[in-house]
Amino acid sequence: MNIYLISILGYAVLLIGIGWFIGKHVKEASDFFVGNRKFSWQLLFTTLIAANIGAGSTVGVTGLAFKHGVSSWWWIGCSAMGSIILAFIVGPKVWEIAKKYNLYTMGDYLDLRYAHAFRGIISSMMVIGTLALFSGQLIGIAWILDVVAGIDKPTGTMIGAAVVTLYFTAGGVLSAAVVNIVEVVVIFAGFCLAAPYALSSVGGWAGLQTMVGTNFADSAKTAAYFSWDGIGYTAIIGYFLMLVPAFCISPGLIGKIYSAENKRAVKIGTMLNALVQFGFAFLPMILGMCAFAAFPDLKNAELALPTAMKELMPFGVAALALAAIFAAEVSTADAVLYMLSSSISNDLYKTFLKPDISDKELLKVSRVATLICGLLGVLFALWMPNIITALKIFYSLMTVSIGAPFLVGLFCDKASTKGAFISAIAGVSTTLTLQFGYAGKGLWILNASSTGTVVAVLVMFASLYLFPNKKVLK
């Protein structure tokens, strides 16, 4: 059997073993959903950074760098900006509310702040979007297994789904947090070694510029490849309006914030996560550019990362680097499974079908929901063409539907249920109309989802004066 595959599968078995060991100590729903609210800033940092460095930030961004060069940095850079807002503005506020009202999920907050119906509609919509996000992580795992062992996409996605589903089903967010410690060590060791090796293999930065220039044979294209705005202002603004809010309102990240032991842990753990994101953004950028320099004819840009790690460095470094990609995809996939299982079991099943469900029964339903979502994720992955497309579906849907209602409602008592509904409907309908009716083009230099986000925000602020809320949380 391929030696690279053996190392990756051995690592996968280790993760499953840790998850099931931790799962033996998970007896209640509060342990499964919020780790009994005992996460220190160190544990919160590891579980946040593990969730934020996944298929999009590794395989996806390396694919963007392969095609667009330096400007691919903006994907992770904008995500880090959102994490700064989460650390100092959104996180401490929502943690305080979650602690006071014993909230488990984003849906719990939307129910408390607005209404059952708003929670139900948003949670149902998020299940669809989150399945797309989960499929993106599985596609990333499939591309790794394709390069290292020639495993086809359907088989690769099934292997990835099995690994993540098995260890997360056992212990939920608590298992994920402990497993994330191992994953973070592997991720940073692998990427911090891989980027310098890849760069040296193409002759350093000067050699990289020479090889890229030769591949393009066009000075204008080469200059754009090494510029910060090479991908275009429309794309950069689109990333900003999509990813900055997404990384401070994501249900998966908010759920992890709920798990913190206090507001100090929220601020420190989330701030460190943001700082690491800013620095990490350079690593897949360099790897993608090196891959283009060495393998310009690669047909699938999202194979650039595993190809570079396998072909541009010695075996020992390559094995660790490939395990790092696998760790990155798996660590984010467990955060996505958290969103799915909590939406289905707590936000939908408990809220609308069985409000009097016992704590132990809710834990059982959550585990069953996790297994079902693992299977559905495989089906979505087989349908999705690539990672970035899958992630854009989730981030766009989430930002235009709950971004304005969540953030405005968190800080303004005047935000009403009617305003939240109209804002979400306006944002989603604008995005869908522009996406399918105008080929994704929006107003001015904005794309469809960016325009939808702006419309949702404007409508939400207008609602504060047209139909202000009379209900104030005590």
Residue 347's nearest CA partner among 107, 104, 101, 32 is 107
pLDDT single digits (tens) 154-210: 998 998 888 777 766 655 556 666 667 777 888 898 999 999 999 999 999 999 999
Q: For residue 441, name the pLDDT band (cuts at 50, 70, 90).
A: confident
Q: Do 203 and 115 belong to one domain?
A: yes
pLDDT single digits (tens) 394-404: 888 899 999 99
Rounded distance, CA 9 to CA 4, Å? 9
**Range(s) of the domain holding residue 129:** 3-398
Q: Do 369 and 472 belong to one domain?
A: no
Q: For residue 342, name the pLDDT band (cuts at 50, 70, 90).
A: confident
Q: Do 392 and 427 belong to one domain?
A: no
**CA separation (Å) from 204 to 101, 215, 287, 298, 313?**
55, 16, 12, 21, 14
Q: Do 389 and 417 belong to one domain?
A: no
- Of 367, 398, 429, which residue constitutes the final position of a domain? 398
Greater confidence (310 vs 30) lies with: 310
Q: Do 360 and 443 belong to one domain?
A: no
Average pLDDT over residues 438-459: 90
Residue 405 lies in a domain: no
What predicted TM-score, i.e. pTM, was given to this entire model?
Answer: 0.86
**Mean pLDDT value across the chain:** 87
Residue 404 lies in a domain: no
Q: Do 291 and 429 belong to one domain?
A: no
Q: Do 330 and 417 belong to one domain?
A: no
- Of 365, 398, 431, which residue constitutes the final position of a domain? 398
Q: Do 435 and 388 belong to one domain?
A: no
Q: Is 80 exceeded by the pLDDT of residue 328?
A: no
Rounded distance, CA 223 to CA 315, Å? 34
pLDDT at 32: 57
pLDDT at 34: 55
User: 249, exposed or middle or buried, with CB in 10 Å at 0-12, 13-18, 19+?
Assistant: buried
Residue 213 lies in a domain: yes
CB 53 within 8 A of CB 187: yes
Q: Do 196 and 324 belong to one domain?
A: yes
Count of domains in the chain?
A: 2
Residue 291 lies in a domain: yes
Cβ neighbours of 218 (radius 10 Å):
11
* Most confident by average pLDDT, 112-126, 146-160, 212-226, 439-453: 212-226
Q: Is 50 exceeded by the pLDDT of residue 1?
A: no
Of 2-16, 240-254, 288-302, give the lowest mean pLDDT range. 2-16
- Of 398, 424, 456, which residue constitutes the final position of a domain? 398
pLDDT single digits (tens) 12-23: 677 667 666 666
Q: Do 262 and 145 belong to one domain?
A: yes
Rounded distance, CA 23 to CA 33, Å? 12
CATH number at residue 85: 1.20.1730.10
- Tell me the backbone φ, ψ of residue 441, rounded to 5 degrees: -85, 140
Average pLDDT over residues 375-396: 86
Q: Do 366 and 420 belong to one domain?
A: no
